[in-house]
């Protein structure tokens, strides 16, 4: 990371604990390490809890790197994997779901589920998702988390500003409408 890149990040210790989650594959493209780096910038005494949900067998070497970084941060724990039927119960335990993907996403299902549950959702600025944090920018993510710690009421500003997520029926109806136009070109 370039020298001075994070100068704008000041450390606060305000006491209100925010529960943050990461749910996704443990591979570099999903960016869990970016979230851990952001927390490392804020310091080990930052009053929050982070749970990383994912399968270490996705990429064992990467999972080992995540575990080593997580071990330096007392507010982080690895949550393992959970069944599909448990996703909304897991989301209900969080104040914020962070999706720090480093590459293009094709409407990740966890984003749709978080939107449906009304969970605040800062996303990387990559195609397929909204734009709260640039991909790989630990400092920007640290700044956002810090602002949410200082002003927890701002969590509401990150909640589903785009309305309800599309249903599969709505999406397929839309595709049927535009398909003839695309074929005609």
Average model confidence (pLDDT) across the chain: 76
Distant-in-sequence, close-in-space partners of 83: CB < 8 Å, separation ≥ 6: none
Say which residue, 129 or 140, is predicted with more confidence: 140
Joined together, the tokens standing for residue 73 give 């941060």
Q: Where are the domains of the chain?
A: 18-184
Residues 114-139 pLDDT 10s: 877 877 776 655 444 444 445 566 77
Residue 82, CA atoms < 13 Å, CB-side half-sphere: 17
Distant-in-sequence, close-in-space partners of 164: CB < 8 Å, separation ≥ 6: 115, 116
Q: Domain 18-184 belongs to what architecture? A: 3-Layer(aba) Sandwich (3.40)
């Amino acid at each position: 990371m370039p020298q001075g890149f994070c100068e704008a990040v000041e450390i606060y210790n305000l006491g209100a604990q925010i529960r943050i989650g990461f749910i996704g594959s443990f591979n570099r493209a999903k960016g869990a390490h970016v979230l851990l780096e952001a927390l490392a910038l804020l310091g080990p005494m930052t009053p929050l809890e982070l749970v990383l949900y994912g399968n270490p067998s996705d990429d064992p070497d990467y999972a080992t790197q995540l575990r080593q970084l997580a071990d330096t941060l007392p507010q982080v724990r690895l949550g393992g994997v959970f069944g599909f039927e448990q996703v909304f119960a897991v989301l209900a335990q969080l104040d914020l779901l962070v999706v720090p993907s480093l590459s293009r996403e094709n409407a990740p299902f966890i984003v749709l589920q978080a939107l449906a549950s009304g969970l605040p959702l800062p996303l990387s600025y990559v195609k397929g998702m909204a734009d709260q944090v640039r991909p790989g920018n630990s400092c920007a993510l640290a700044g956002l988390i810090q602002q949410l710690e200082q002003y927890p009421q701002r969590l509401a500003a990150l909640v589903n500003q785009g309305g309800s997520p599309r249903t599969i029926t709505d999406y397929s109806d839309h595709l049927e409408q535009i398909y003839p136009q695309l074929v005609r070109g």
